[in-house]
Structures are given as structure tokens and as C-alpha cells.
A = this chain, B = another copy of it.
Amino acid sequence: MIFDFPQLLKSLQLKVTPQRLAILESMSTARTYLSPEEVQGQVQLRAACKVGLPTIYRNLEELSSQGVISKILHPNRQLYYYFCANRDHHHHFVCLVCRTVQDIHDCGCAALAGQIDGQVDVHIMQALGTCRRCCNQNA
């Protein structure tokens, strides 16, 4: 799967900066969710371009709020981010051992609106656990 990141950024009304391209490049090739500091490390490795942590934070948040990447609410209370090519509404299962991510296609949230006396603006849904590979390695 190949991404036209400059085009993507333009469509989001964001300037195409080397920093943003490096962040997107790193996120899209990561096989696990990453902390902002880890993203910085990846960027430095791959793009040999130094990007300040505030810039990383600002862009991860921007990309996340625009739906390009998704935010992982880790039990350790820090934020992690994950690039998911799947553009449809869906959620994630997160392996806390190896940090891989699986899509949850049927989150059952369609049934939500009906039972709420009010208007649902967002819903958070996340499953956390141990993937099969990691389960097997433990046993």
C-alpha cells in the first residue's frame, strides 16, 4: 500500500513540511503503536532530520484529530499513536505485550444511540489484552 502523503496533507489544509512527511512515513511503517518519543526516535533514524518533541506532539494530535492516525489510551496513562490504513469507523484491540494492534470491525456501537437520553458526540472503545502469539509464548 502506497500513500501520497503530500496530497493527504494538502487535503487536510496542512503545509507539506519535511517534519510532517517524516512523521507520516514513520507512523505508516510502524507495526506497533508508538509513543511520541518513539516517533521522534524513528523519525531521526529514517529521515536523519531532527524534529523537536513539541512538533511531534502537535502533529500527532493534529493527525489524530483529523482521523489520519488513531490514539491508544494505554493503561499506563500515556498516549500512544497508531497509523491505520482502514479509513472506516472501527476500533482496536491492543496487545499490551508486543504492542501490536488488531482491528475490531464490529464494535456494536450502533446500538448505542438508542439507549442514551441525549446526543453521543464521540465514543471511546478499546480492547486491551494479549494477542495469540504472545499468549502462546507465555505458555
Q: Does A106 contact B (CB under 8 A)?
A: yes
Residues A108 and B105 in contact in the complex (CB < 8 Å), given A73-B73, A128-B122 = no
Tell me the minimal C-beta distance from A42 to chain B in angstroms: 24
State in angstroms the CA–CA spacing of A121 and B74 once bound together.
Answer: 13
Whether B123 pairs with A127 at a CB distance below 8 angstroms is yes
For A110, give the chain B residue with the smallest CB separation.
B108
User: Quick one: which of A106, A118, A135 has the most chain B CB within 10 A?
Assistant: A118
Q: Does A8 contact B (CB under 8 A)?
A: no
Whether B108 pairs with A104 at a CB distance below 8 angstroms is no
Q: Does A131 contact B (CB under 8 A)?
A: yes
Tell me the minimal C-beta distance from A2 to chain B in angstroms: 27
A120-134 vs B, CB cutoff 8 Å, 1 = contact: the mask equals 111111111111111
Residues A118 and B129 in contact in the complex (CB < 8 Å), given A73-B73, A124-B124 = yes
Whether A127 pairs with B116 at a CB distance below 8 angstroms is yes
Q: Does A80 contact B (CB under 8 A)?
A: no
